[in-house]
């Protein structure tokens, strides 16, 4: 599928909407609560957020498949990347991250977020650690991992920069680990 077709799909898809700030504030209160529960052990908070995202990704993919009107599997990882950025994130977060920094083996790329609604109202705690350790939007890594697993792709995802940490961009690195054989059920987390 061509890139332009992919982006048109994202825009045309008719989805029931809610106020963005309801979502953003709810996410904020979730992160704050997890930080409290784990006494600001940010490594653990990242893990919890990733896990939540993974659970969401597993379910989100059904939505995605229904709304993007395509049951066809992407033919290669580059096409998958297009669909993630232009349809998946468009549906989920109403943003379209830029795809960049492909490795030569076409197995690794970056998603650069010019906009990140989840972080709209956020300033990280001034405790000398949060900016080193917390990936505030880490739930997105899990969402991607879970969703792709449902379409037989095992990927590894992590943020490598975040404007909340004082970086100039927010960038997520996505690596294809392997295609999961159809016979094997997706592993349970």
Partner 1 sequence: MSYYFAIIGTQDNPLFEYDFGTSKQGGDGMARFTEQARQLNQFIIHSSLDIVEEVQWTNGQMYLKLIDRFFTSYISCFLTASNIKFLLLHQPPSTSSSSSALPHPSSSGSSSTSTLVQSSHHPPTSASTSSLSVIPSLSTLTGGSNSSTPTLIGGGGTSSRTSTSIAANPTSPQTEEAIRNFFAEVYENYVKAIMSPFYKTNMEIRSPVFRARVAAAGRKYL
Partner 2 sequence: MSNHLPAGGNGGGGRAGDSGLRYPSNGKTIYHRPLNRTKTAELSKAAFAYLFAEMVSYAQRRVTGIQELEKRLNLQGHPIGLKLLDLLLFREPPRSQLRPLNIIALLHFIKINVWTHLFGRQADRLEKSSNPDTPDEFMIIDNEPLVNAYISVPKEMSQLNCAAFAAGIIEGVCDGAGFPARVTAHTVGDTAGEGGEMWPGRTVFLVKFQPEVLEREALIGAKS
Q: What residue ranges bind partner 2 (CB under 8 A)? A: 15-30, 32-34, 37, 48, 52, 55-56, 59-60, 63, 91-94, 117, 120-124, 126, 128, 131, 163, 165-168
Query: Could you tell me the smallest distance in angstroms from the CB atom of residue 178 to partner 2?
Result: 26
Among the listed ranges 8-16, 91-99, 100-108, 117-125, the one in contact with partner 1 (CB under 8 A) is: 117-125
Count of Cβ atoms closer than 10 Å to residue 172 Cβ: 22
93 binds, among partner 2, partner 1, none (CB under 5 to 8 A by kind): partner 2
Nearer to partner 1 among residue 70 and residue 131 (C-beta): 131
Query: Could you tell me the smallest distance in angstroms from the CB atom of residue 131 to partner 1?
Result: 12
150 binds, among partner 2, partner 1, none (CB under 5 to 8 A by kind): none
Is residue 4 a contact residue for partner 1 (CB under 8 A)?
Answer: no
88 close to 173: Cβ distance less than 8 angstroms: no
Element containing residue 5 per DSSP (H, E): helix 3-12
Measure the CA–CA gap between 189 and 176, rounded to whole angstroms.
Answer: 19
65 binds, among partner 2, partner 1, none (CB under 5 to 8 A by kind): none
Measure the CA–CA gap between 185 and 165, rounded to whole angstroms.
Answer: 38
Adjacent-strand bridge partners of 98: 112
Adjacent-strand bridge partners of 161: 171
Count of Cβ atoms closer than 10 Å to residue 104 Cβ: 6
Measure the CA–CA gap between 67 and 64, rounded to whole angstroms.
Answer: 5
Q: Which stretches of the chain bind partner 1, using CB under 8 A? A: 25, 28-29, 31-32, 35, 121-126, 130
């Amino acid at each position: 599928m061509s890139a332009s077709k992919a982006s048109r799909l994202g825009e045309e898809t008719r989805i029931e909407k809610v106020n963005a700030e309801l979502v953003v504030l709810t996410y904020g209160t979730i992160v704050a609560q997890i930080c409290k529960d784990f006494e600001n052990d940010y490594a653990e908070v990242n893990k919890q957020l990733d896990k939540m995202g993974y659970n969401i990704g597993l379910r989100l993919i059904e939505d995605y498949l229904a709304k993007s009107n395509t049951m066809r599997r992407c033919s290669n990882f580059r096409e998958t990347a297009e669909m993630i950025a232009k349809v998946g994130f468009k549906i989920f977060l109403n943003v379209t991250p830029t795809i960049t920094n492909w490795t030569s083996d076409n197995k690794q790329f970056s998603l650069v977020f010019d906009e990140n609604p989840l972080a709209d109202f956020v300033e990280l705690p001034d405790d000398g650690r949060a900016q080193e350790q917390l990936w505030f939007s880490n739930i997105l890594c899990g969402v991607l991992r879970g969703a792709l697993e449902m379409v037989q792709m095992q990927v590894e995802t992590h943020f490598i920069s975040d404007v909340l940490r004082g970086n100039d961009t927010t960038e997520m690195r996505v690596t294809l680990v392997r295609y999961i054989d159809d016979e094997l059920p997706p592993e349970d987390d």
